[in-house]
Amino acid sequence: MEILAIRPEPPGTPSKRLAIFDAQLTPDIRIFGLKLVETPRGPRVYAPRGGANAVATFAPAFAIELTGAAMAALDGENRGTTDR
């Protein structure tokens, strides 16, 4: 898994959304427009929506891994050290 790009929310944004990001999940699958959101239970990743439906869902263990990768990329972005 690789975070291809991450776009943090601007400082002072009232939204609970932390960032929007793109990820290469496997060598064959990329997904764009994932949302990293702060929830009462901690950060969580949401797939983009196609109308009223999510375009993807993730098994709990995979969601935890994806959230960790996104948080690490966001931390690097906030420090100005991400490689692109």
State pTM to two decimals.
Answer: 0.84
Domains of the chain: 2-77 (3.30.1120)
Q: What is the pLDDT of residues 8-54, one digit of tens each?
A: 988 777 789 999 999 999 999 999 999 999 999 999 999 999 999 98
Q: How far is CA 38 from CA 18, 19, 25, 26, 30, in A?
A: 7, 10, 21, 25, 23
